[in-house]
Structure 1
Amino acid sequence: MWGSLNLKQSTHRKESVHRRNLTIATVEGIPSVIFQTLIGGQFLTGFLLYLGATSGQLGFVLAITTFVNIGQLFVAFFIQKIRSRKWAFVIFGTIQRLLWGATGLAPLLFPERYWVAAYLGFYVAAFMFNTVVAMLWSSLISDIVPSRVRGRYFGIRNTLVNGLGTLFLFLGGMLLDQFPGGQGFLYLYIVVWICIGANIVTFFFYPDLPFERSGESKFIPMLQKPLKDGSFIKSTGFIAGFLFLQNLVVPLYSYVMLELLDINYKTISLLNVTQTLFMMGSFYVWGNLNARYSNRRLLWWTMPLIALAILSWGLLSAFPVLPVLFFAHAAFGIGLGGFNQLAFNFMIGDTPKAERPMYMAMYSAITGVASFFGPLIGGKMYEWISDWPEWMQVFGMQLAVGVLMILLAMTLGRKILRDE
């Protein structure tokens, strides 16, 4: 009897600790998503233009965020040597957050001719540290969230934090409309710094869980582990190819809408919010489906949805512009929400625990390179077809890429991402 009672008490304590850790991870995500919303997307573009950046400098900023993921290969080896993942996360996370916040100090600390250079310096440094922070957080969260609830938990967490991010997307836009120019960005960065401070405080509440280290002690043998895993490398290579095609057109949607369709910024913001809302709504659904079906199978299901969303731009040939664009953004949000959530679950759930950091780093490096070159080549392709018929520039690229994505998903994708 007493043994049974102690077992129940032990199980209850274990469940309470798990619940507390999940709550901490959720609370930490709230200020993180809010401040990243306010310094990214349309706010990043607007602030850089206010600082005097050129289109080339803007393109560099947008591209560098994925290219630096190659550095995670070395970070995965580095974290095998540290004593505590939590305190490394606290230290590097604090530095990274402060660097992100420092981007807003460029107009206050430097003469105007150095504003853009100062911003780029802080921004690149922040993303260099981000390679360490992202790896440490992914490693921690994979141990914090039990595998049996992983799908539902991330569905609920992503819905909550992205919902608040969408709210601040609205509020930030209203703030800049009310206070244009430097004054508006000053107020925006005050909110950013408050959120950064709150975010840093939450780091200290993360648990310092035991770390199952790799069986390899040298870099090259550790690097070879995921490379020799045929199933993993095929899946990652296929996902990278799919992302490359997607990024040929999706990052350039704003260019098409602004330059070719003559749509105003307010409408584009509403389209982006629509995409985010549908993405949020899909998180919980994909999370529940993940409790019944594997990461691989569901990841494959998202791909035709994303391709069809891109193909739907072809409806512009027969229907009014705005209804088509709202439908295309909504459908893309549903597919993208599932893809991002399931790709993350694939990294932390379908890989060997002891070798997981290097597996995650390899995934990030390969898909990061694909995501880097996609928009660069896509932008060049739009330059090449600038003299072609207008319909080809507005939705012809989307049709061509969408067809290739469908073919890729229904052939190689069906074979590679099948359940093992």
Structure 2
Amino acid sequence: MEPERSLRLSIWEGAFSILFINWSTGVILTGYALALGASPGALAILGGLPFLAQLLAPLALFLRGSRKALAVRLNLLARALFFPAILAPLLPEPHRIPTLLLFAGLSQLLAAPVGVVWLSWMADLVPEERRGRYFGLRNALLGLVGTLGNLLGGAVADRLPPPTGYQAVLLLGVGLGLLSVLLLRAQAEPPLPSSPPPQKALQAAWRDGAYRRYLAVVFAWYLAVMVGGPFVVPYFIQVGGLSMTQVGLWTLLSATSGLVFGPLWGRLADREGHGAVLLRAGWVAALMPLLWLMGSRAFPWPIWAAALVDALAWSGLGTALVNAALAQAPKETRSGYLALFWLALGLGGLVGSLVAGLVARLEVGPSPYHLPILVSALLRVLVARRFRP
């Protein structure tokens, strides 16, 4: 019955988990921060927190014991620790945003090593010949669940006085995140393959010249993305005139489309390799910000069209970036390769978020968000030229 039982459970576990992750790091958290009076600089910091957390990913190599036990414990602590962030509105106004940033950051820092541990576990659980199809389907389904959650969360936020609606959604997210930990415990864990000491695994990955070049592209790509990334939802709300419910509808449209595109990208990856997906999806993602910039309160249709383009790009790109790393990693040193992948991703996103805050402070253009998004598009095009089939 294994691994089929555990693979089905993993989809259910991911469905509950993604609601917590989306709400505590995505559009709902951004709306919550706006309701608490966050500045563009604070929004840039908030957008950079997930990438700052990824800098701790290599610590996963030094954690001993069962990968399942580690993932369960770290997720349990991370999700419980987010709860104080929900209480930020009870504090005096000057302390609200710092408290939100502190506990959201601590929660994400604790969860950071889980990515390496969980992916190493799943790489042993999912048969290699099915990885593209399984992760393509799983990611598409989780994308749909997450954006249905955004739609629900946005509707609640619009119907209750701010920030009460956001608090209610985030509290539900913590509860669902804790429930997902129970499902994580129920999954099987294959025997841990013998592996060299962490230092040797990292050294083996770093000495791989082709992999170092790939890490440089990952770093540059997430830097480019995050120069504009923290301002997409604020742009939709303050420039495009979308309500939180409409933002939820936008993400629902994207996720529904991703449910179609994800398996198609997966089949292409199984047939031609993950590099072919990177090349094609990367160019789509590189040009997508231009659609955002064409939209406005009087002419919002390019923003809605971008939902389809977003689905086409990221339903393939997100999975292909990870699977391309897995494809280059020898089994015995896989953990070192994955740790460096998450480190490159985190460093790129963190540097990009810092640049985003600096660019937004220039206040060039109709809003503080136009210039960072334009710079992001230009940088994405430069990096997309480095993707190889």
Structures share a fold, TM > 0.5?
Answer: yes
Question: In structure 1, what residue type is equivalent to 2:177?
Answer: I
Do the aligned partners of residues 33 and 225 (structure 1) sit closer, same or farther apart at CA in structure 2, a change above 3 Å counting? Answer: same
The equivalent position to 1:357 in structure 2, one of 321, 335, 342, is: 335
What displacement does 1:52 show? 5.6
Alignment of 1:112-191 (within 5 A): 115-181=96-162, 183-191=164-172
TM-score (norm 2): 0.87
Alpha-carbon separation, structure 2, partners of 1:17 and 1:102: 39
1:35 aligns with 2:35: no
Q: Show structure 2 runs of 5+ residues with no match.
A: none
Give the C-alpha shift of residue 106 in structure 1. 4.7
Distance 1:191 1:161, change over 3 A: same
In the TM superposition, residue 29 of structure 1 has moved relative to its aligned partner by 0.5
Q: Which residue of 2 aligns with 1:69?
A: 54
Q: Secondary structure at the match of 1:177?
A: helix
SS at match of 1:17: coil
CA distance in 2, matches of 1:32, 1:177: 24
2:277 counterpart of 1:309: no
Instruction: Work out whether residues 360 and 371 of structure 2, in 8 Å CA contact, stay in contact via their aligned partners in 1.
Output: no
Aligned counterparts of 1:33 and 1:324: Cα–Cα separation in 2: 27
Taking the aligned partners of 2:89 and 2:295, their CA distance within structure 1 comes to 42
Give per-residue Cα distances to partners, 1:185-235, cap 9 Å, x unaligned.
4532442243133212112212132112432x363x433211110111111
In the alignment, the residues of structure 2 paired with residue 74 and residue 350 of structure 1 have an alpha-carbon distance, to the nearest angstrom, of: 21
For the 8 Å contact 2:218–2:344, the answer to whether it is kept is: no
Alpha-carbon distance in structure 2 between the residues aligned to 1:363 and 1:205: 28
Task: Report if the CA contact (8 A) 2:121-2:190 is conserved.
Answer: yes
Once the two structures are superposed, residues 144-168 of structure 1 have per-residue CA deviations (whole angstroms, 9 ceiling, x without a partner) of 1111111111122122222222222
Change (3 A) 1:226 1:20: same
**1:87 corresponds to:** 69
The answer for the alignment partner of 2:303 in structure 1 is 325
- State the Cα distance separating 1:364 from its structure 2 match: 1.1
Q: Would you say the 8 A contact 1:313–1:395 is kept in 2?
A: no
The letter for the 2-side match of 1:251 is P
- Confirm or deny: 8 A CA contact 1:313 1:399 kept in the other structure: no
Q: Could you tell me how far apart the structure 2 residues matched to 1:349 and 1:74 are?
A: 22
Corresponding pairs, count: 388
Superposition deviation, residue 59 in structure 1: 3.0
Which residue is 2:322 aligned to?
344
Shift of 1:340: 0.4
Q: Is the 8 A contact 1:90 1:200 kept in 2?
A: yes
**Does the C-alpha gap of structure 1 residues 249 and 121 become closer, same or farther in structure 2, counting only changes over 3 Å?**
closer
Deviates more, 1:224-233 or 1:111-120: 111-120
CA distance in 1, matches of 2:6, 2:220: 36
| Secondary structure of 1:222's aligned partner | helix
Quote the residue 2:8 is aligned against.
Answer: 23
Measured after TM superposition, the shift of residue 399 of structure 1 is 5.9
* Percent of paired sites with the same residue: 23
Given the superposition, is the C-alpha separation of residues 26 and 124 from structure 1 closer, same or farther in structure 2, using an over 3 Å criterion? same
Alpha carbon RMSD of aligned pairs, Å?
Answer: 3.0
**What is the CA–CA distance in structure 2 between the aligned matches of 1:161 and 1:363, rounded to whole Å?**
22
Q: Deviations over 1:369-402 (max 9, x none)?
A: 111122332342344362x6x5x98867756654
Q: Is the 8 A contact 1:99 1:122 kept in 2?
A: yes
Q: Which residue in the other structure is 2:214 paired with? A: 235
Unaligned residue ranges in structure 1 (runs of 5+): 1-15
Are residues 173 and 56 of structure 1, via their aligned partners in 2, closer, same or farther at CA, if it must alter by over 3 Å?
Answer: same
Offset of 1:44 from its aligned partner?
A: 0.9
Q: Which amino acid aligns with 1:409?
A: A
1:236 Cα offset (Å): 1.7
- Which of 392, 409, 412 is matched with 2:384 structurally? 409
The 1:335–1:86 alpha-carbon spacing in structure 2 relative to 1, beyond 3 Å, is same
Say whether the 8 Å CA contact 1:279–1:337 is kept in structure 2.
Answer: yes
Aligned counterparts of 1:275 and 1:337: Cα–Cα separation in 2: 9
Report what 2:348 is aligned to: 370
Say whether the 8 Å CA contact 1:69–1:361 is kept in structure 2. no
Note if contact 1:70-1:361 (Cα within 8 Å) is conserved in structure 2: no
SS at match of 2:314: helix
Q: Secondary structure at the match of 1:207?
A: coil
- Would the aligned equivalents of 1:261 and 1:394 in 2 still touch at CA under 8 Å? no
Q: Residues 149-298 of structure 1 correspond to what in structure 2 (within 5 A)?
A: 149-181=130-162, 183-215=164-196, 217=197, 219=199, 221-260=200-239, 265-298=244-277
1:97 corresponds, among 71, 79, 82, to 79
Query: Is the Cα–Cα contact under 8 Å of residues 252 and 375 in structure 1 kept in the other structure?
Result: no
Which is further off, 254-263 or 287-296? 254-263
Pick which of 299-308 and 98-107 moved more: 98-107
